[in-house]
Amino acid sequence: MKTDSTIKQQLQAEAYRLGFSFVGVAKAGFMDEEARHLEAWLERGYHGEMGYMANHFDKRVDPTQLVPGARTVISLLYNYHHPARQADPAAPKISQYAYGEDYHFVLKDKLKSLLQFLQQQVGAVEGRVFVDSAPVLERDWARRAGNGWTGKHTLLIHPRAGSYFFLAELIIDLELEPDPPMKDYCGTCRKCIDACPTEAIAPEGYLVDGSKCISYLTIELKAAIPTEFEGKLDNWMFGCDICQEVCPWNRFARPHHEPAFEPDPSLLELTQRDWLELTEETFRQVFKRSAVKRTKFSGLQRNIKFLQPREPEKP
């Protein structure tokens, strides 16, 4: 009969074979501290128009609401770092995570394979897979599972690999030995806080006003971008990587090895003029499998237009 440690080792080995970089295990249970933090964050209105963040509160803080009888949360990290820059330095910028195919589909297939592998090794195991598509506090579970610590920009940081990772989970009714959490190594550093052009990160860190975040403004916000942010988006048209680019821990980040995350050949070659003259046909071609489709052609046009300097009004 296989021991828990053997099952865990086999699970980790299969996850690495599937391309995941880190695998951690946490004991499933009610997230008391995280529930208080989430409630306070919502009360401050930091979720902006992301009304879904206030939905299914009980499910967000209790994995047994998602998987009856859940005993273990397996947290997995998948590298998406692509250090190549756009050829035209004046071109509006896009976050690295959206260069290639939509990660939801790529990782969900891998997670389903991993769950099937576990069931083949153990037998009857009930569980579900999650990739940023259900009410799961992914960064908190990754932290609990020892996959890193939550940085002052509130993203997960791994000391050997930085923060350019997608997070995913398996919530199962099989009990596995949990991993210890990791120490916070941000120390006195405040580079992410000082670099954020919209001052979305609280002065003391570890708290982000989502309604001020460039990623929110260019992706989640469906209404017009408030004029108070004119000249503050640092030329980002979809997402933002500023707080990651300045983080000292990302000197350890290495390029990913996932073919699905390679950008469309033309993406990095498009010039500023190309983007200004972008047609819906080109949009569909370049982003046919990308997460950028989420903002739609009209949304991306809105963002690009907002980045252009406004002509002074005539007297």
pLDDT digits (tens, 9 = 90+) for 48-88: 888 878 788 999 999 999 999 999 999 999 999 999 999 99
Rg (CA), the chain: 20
pLDDT of residue 83: 94
pLDDT of residue 52: 75
pLDDT of residue 1: 45
**Distance between CA 27 and CA 35 in Å, rounded?**
16
Query: Considering the domain boundaries, does residue 125 fall inside one?
Result: yes
Residues 106 and 216 in one domain: no
Query: Residue 229 sits in which domain range?
Result: 191-307
From the candidates 62, 88, 109, 132, give the one annotated as an active-site residue.
132
Query: Considering the domain boundaries, does residue 178 fall inside one?
Result: no
Q: Measuring CA to CA, how many Å separate 83 from each of 79, 160, 255, 272, 274?
A: 12, 17, 7, 20, 22
- pLDDT tens for the chain, 315 residues long, are 466 789 999 999 999 999 999 999 999 999 999 999 999 999 999 898 888 787 889 999 999 999 999 999 999 999 999 999 999 999 999 999 999 999 999 999 999 999 999 999 998 899 999 998 788 999 999 999 999 999 999 999 999 999 999 999 999 999 999 999 999 999 999 999 999 999 999 999 999 999 999 999 999 999 999 999 999 999 999 999 999 999 999 999 999 999 999 998 899 999 999 999 999 999 999 998 899 998 999 999 999 999 998 765 555
Residues 141 and 211 in one domain: no
Residues 13 and 154 in one domain: yes
pTM (2 d.p.): 0.94
Residue 132 annotated among the catalytic residues of the structure: yes
Query: Considering the domain boundaries, does residue 51 fall inside one?
Result: yes
Number of domains the chain contains = 2
Per-residue burial over 248-280, b = 16 or more CB atoms within 10 Å of its CB, e = otherwise: ebbeebeebebeebebbeebbebebeebeebee
pLDDT of residue 312: 57
Query: Considering the domain boundaries, does residue 185 fall inside one?
Result: no
Q: What is the CATH number of the domain that holds 125?
A: 3.40.109
